[in-house]
Amino acid sequence: MTTIAFAPRAITDVSGERELLGVKPPVEKPRSISGSVAVTATLPKPVPGEIEKAVRRMPVLYVIAFFGVVVLSAVMIIWNTLQVNKLTAERNALDQTITQNQQHLIRLRAEEMELSAPDRIRAIAENKLGMVESSGQDIVVLK
């Protein structure tokens, strides 16, 4: 297993107390023995740790820019998804139209074959138009 990050260890004072986030615990000064004059303990000024210094150094602009990029990325992903869904729906509609047109073309070709059948044309010519089938005797040559 490899170590990913290092953190500084808390500094231990002579009294055995540990420093937390760069702030040392308050140290009480000894009181006078006579008891007539009370000495009050003064708190040392907190010393910022490395993490606090890093946080203070980070400009607000970088944080705003980071969240701006995150929000912009999310918006772009959502927009892209919507565009893909829209184009997929259009493609499905066009595929359906192509299928319907192909079926219509098949029906029209079948109707064309039925209407152009030689037997049907011969029957229409004989019955409706009164035509007869030609023989070699019906040919007249004019000069």
pLDDT digits (tens, 9 = 90+) for 1-29: 565 655 555 556 556 555 555 555 565 55
- Please tell me the predicted confidence (pLDDT) of residue 41: 64
| Confidence at 139, pLDDT banded by 50, 70, 90 | confident
Q: What is the pLDDT of residues 28-77, one digit of tens each?
A: 555 555 555 555 667 777 777 777 776 677 677 788 899 999 999 999 99
Give Cβ neighbours of residue 52 (< 8 Å, ≥ 6 apart).
21, 22
CA atoms of 17 and 108, how far apart (whole Å):
96
